[in-house]
Amino acid sequence: MRIRSFLPALMVTFFLIFSFLQRAEAGVKKIAVLDFEDSSVTTSQTQQVVVTQGGIMSQQVERGKVGRAVSDMLITEFVKDGTFKVIERNQLEKVISEQKLSASGLMDTSEAAKIGKILGVSAVIVGSVTQFGVDRQTIGLFGIGIKKSTAKVAINARMIDTSSGEIIFAVEGSGDEEASGVDVGGYINVDSASFANSILGVATKKALKDVVKQIREQSAKLKESAITAYVAMCDTKANTFIIDIGKESGIENDQTLYVIKVLKEVKSPKTGEVIKRITDVIAELRITEIDKTSATATCVSGRCDIIKEGDMVSTSSGKETKEQLAKLQKAAINAAVAYVEPSNKTVIFDVGKDHGVEKDQIFYVVKVVKEIKSPTTGEVIKRIADVVAEFKVTEVDKASATAVFVSGSFENIKEGDKISTSK
C-alpha cells in the first residue's frame, strides 16, 4: 500500500524536474564548434606514437587529426560545463557539405557566420592548436638517470557572432603534464583509446578546461541569435499557423516566435536598394508541433487576426518586445458600433474574443471633429479626433462584445461610430 501511494508522488516529482530542465535548457545559447587548425603539426608528420604511463604504441595516422580531436574534446567539455548547448557534429557536417566549405579553423569569419545562421546558433567557435608535443629529458650524468617527459599543449579559440560575422572575443588556453620513467617517442596518436590517459591527453584536457572557463566568463558578451522564418500557411479561424522551419533549424516545441510586419522600406535615393526596413511586432506565436522542416504554432497574444502567409517570424525576444506586444494589445483593437441601446446605455460592437477583446476592457468612442485639407490638392492631410464617450466591456463572445456606458456623452453615440482601445 505504501508503494502504491508513493508512486504518484514520485511521478509528479519526475514531471516537475523534467519541466524545470526543459525551461532551463530553453534559455541556453546554442553554439557550433568547427574543427581546429593543426598549427603545431607539419605535413611530414604521418607516423604517430601514443604515449601512456606504461610505454609506447605506434600507428599510422594522416595529418589533420589533431585539430579534429581537440574540437571533439572541446565539445565534450562544453557539454559538461552546461553554459552552452552545442550542435551535434553530424548536423554541422551536413551543412558544411551542402555549402561545399572546409570544416577547419582556416575558414574565414564570414563563412563561419554563414554556417552558424543556417544552423540557428548564436555563435561559432573556431581556433587552432598552436602547441602540441612532448619535451623529453634525462635527469642525471652521462646519459644515465631518470627520464622525464613533459607534455605541453596550447590552444587559441575565437567566438564569432553569427548575426554580425564579428569576432566577439578570443581566448588562449594552455596545459602541461609531466611523467617520469616513460620513453615518449617521436609522435602522438590522438585516435587511440589510450590517448585520453596519456600525459599529452591530460595536458590537452587542462588546456581545454582553461579555454572553456575563459569563454564562460565572457559569455555575457554573446547575444542570443534570432532564428528567422516565414508563415507558410495560416488559418486564423482555427488559430493554426505553419512555419517553414523545423528541428533542423534549431526550433523546439513550446518555443515562442514573434510575428514581424515590415511597416516601411527605406531605399537609397541613388541606387534604389532597400537600406533599412522599419518593422513592428504584431503577435506572439507558440510552437505546438514540430517535425524536421516545419512547425505548427498557435497565436497566444497580439493581432492574431492580421497574420498572413509570407509574414516573417523570429525567435528574438526580450523586455522591449514584450512591452511592445503589451502596448500593441492595448492600442490596436479598433471596431465600429453595431447597435445602440439607449434604455440601459449599452452598445454592441463588431469585434470579440477572436480580436483580443476581454471582459472589463475599456473602449473609447472617437469622433472626428475636424478635417484639415491640403490647399493645393484638396486631400485630407490630418484628422483631429476627440473622445466623446468611454465604455466598459461587460460581455464578450467570439465575434462581438457588449459594453456599458461609463462616462462622456452617450446622446451623441450612433451606429457606425468608431470605437477603440486607444484614445
Domain with residue 70: its CATH number is 3.40.50.10610
Give domain status of residue 11, yes or no. Answer: no
Domain count of the fold of the chain: 3
- What is residue 323's predicted lDDT score, i.e. its pLDDT? 47
Same domain, 263 and 313: yes
Kindly state whether residues 348 and 379 are assigned to the same domain. yes
Domain that holds residue 178: 27-221
Q: Which three-class secondary structure string do you get for 8-34? A: HHHHHHHHHHHHHHHHHHHCCEEEEEC
Regarding whether 200 and 78 lie in a shared domain, the answer is: yes
Contacts of 321 (CB under 8 A, 6+ apart): 258, 281
Please tell me whether residues 290 and 310 are part of one structural domain.
yes
Please indicate, yes or no, whether residues 318 and 342 belong to a single structural domain of this protein.
no
* First-to-final CA distance of the chain: 64
C-alpha neighbours within 13 Å on the C-beta side of residue 116? 31
CA angle 355, 361, 366 (to 5 degrees): 80
Q: What is the DSSP string of 349-403?
A: ES--GGGT--TT-EEEEEEEEEEEE-TTT--EEEEEEEEEEEEEEEEE-SS-EEE
State the Cα–Cα distance between residues 180 and 82, nearest whole angstrom.
Answer: 35
304 in the same domain as 368: no
Is there a domain that residue 21 lies in?
no
pLDDT at position 237 is 86
pLDDT score for 298 = 94
Q: Specify if 20 maps to a domain.
A: no
Q: What is the pTM of this model?
A: 0.49
| Whether residue 113 is found in the same domain as residue 38 | yes
Q: 343 and 320 in one domain?
A: no
Question: Residue 338 has which C-alpha cell?
Answer: 453595431
pLDDT for the residue numbered 58: 38
**Residues of the chain with confidence (pLDDT) below 70:** 1-28, 40-64, 100-107, 138-146, 181-193, 223-226, 274-275, 277, 316-332, 423
Residue 142 lies in a domain: yes
pLDDT at 401: 92
